[in-house]
Amino acid sequence: MALVSTPAERFEDLQEYDYPHDSVTVTDDGAEMAYVDVDGSGEETFLCLHGEPTWGFLYRKMIPDLRTRGRVVVPDFVGFGRSDKYTDIDAYGFETHYETLQRFVEALDLEGVTLVCQDWGSILGLPYAVSEAPERFDRIVAMNALLTDGETELIETWHRFKEMVVNADDLDIARVIDGGCVSDLSAAAKAGYSAPFPDDASKAGAYAWPPMVPQDPDMPGADRHARLREDLREWEKPFFVLFSDSDPMTEQYRDLFRELVPTADDEPDVWIEDAGHFLQEDAGEACAEQIVEFVDRH
């Protein structure tokens, strides 16, 4: 299966995201997963996972505050950002993405981690952190997150979004993200989100993700989330549910997590105001402030 790399010049002059980056090999056929690894002034390690159809650039407004408490690691999933991209939609699968995340964390030997995850970052990150490698994770921040074991029906808005992506002739990445925000994206932000995708073939990962969300118990990944649901009932480490006030795609999961996870109810019952699905973009500074306070509480 063909692998391509986005030309480096596409990422020149990124506004607020000029951190040094590196990569690690995460598949048997040599796909590289890119990441930024920002040193901080504290002892914490934050692992920030993005979703559809974004990349690590999404966390640029949060890194400055998070790094006041420690190291900030922000990878790009394969198919996104600076990471290698398959040009065949069929090359992507739930288990492929899950295994690349596992290999990435193990390659960097991350420990004592505060997981910060949203959208697909939560679909992949939560089962890994809670059920697969809980010894590596000290805290979890679930931001506009999902529990996709096939038992909770995805809303009509999500189904319309999926069909829009699947049927697009040439997906406008920046437009998708702009539509998922309360605020209007600046020209610089639109350029940043579009940078990883020089042509339609490079967007195969973005086309693949929406139909891949487990929608019934027989789909790949649903079994991991069924186990996740049970393991969350026994989770004893700090768990912060941090959702925005204007995201119909995920709002049904907010109370689910707060009621399911024993420690979630110990945290403040807060909403990130004036923010949509991409709350890191709409209100990144406010999100980071809440997360820093969460870390300080524990």
256-272 pLDDT, tens digit per residue, is 999 999 999 999 999 99
Among 153-157, 212-216, 238-242, name the most confident range: 238-242
CA distances from 14 to 112, 215, 277 (A): 30, 36, 22
Half-sphere exposure of 168 (CA within 13 A, CB side): 20
Q: What phi-psi label fits residue 103: left (phi over 0), alpha (psi between -120 and 50 degrees) or beta?
A: alpha
Is 97 considered catalytic here? no
How far is it, in rounded angstroms, from Cα 241 to Cα 261?
Answer: 10
Q: What is the pLDDT of residue 1?
A: 66
How far is it, in rounded angstroms, from Cα 83 to Cα 34?
Answer: 5
Q: Point out the catalytic residue in the list 76, 84, 119, 138.
A: 119
Is 50 considered catalytic here? no
Is 119 considered catalytic here? yes
**Tokens representing residue 251 in the block:** 């709002």
**Hey, what CATH topology would domain 3-297 get?**
Rossmann fold (3.40.50)
Q: What are the phi and psi torsion angles at 48 (to 5°)?
A: -105, 115
**Span 55-69, mean pLDDT?**
98
Q: Is the separation of the CB atoms in 219 and 150 below 8 Å?
A: yes
Q: What is the pLDDT of residue 151?
A: 86
Q: Point out the catalytic residue in the list 65, 76, 138, 247.
A: 247
Q: Point out the catalytic residue in the list 50, 97, 225, 277.
A: 277
Q: What is the pLDDT of residue 13?
A: 85
Residue 164 CB partners (closer than 8 Å, separation 6+): none
How far is it, in rounded angstroms, from Cα 132 to Cα 155?
Answer: 28
**Tokens representing residue 120 in the block:** 């697909």
Half-sphere exposure of 92 (CA within 13 A, CB side): 24
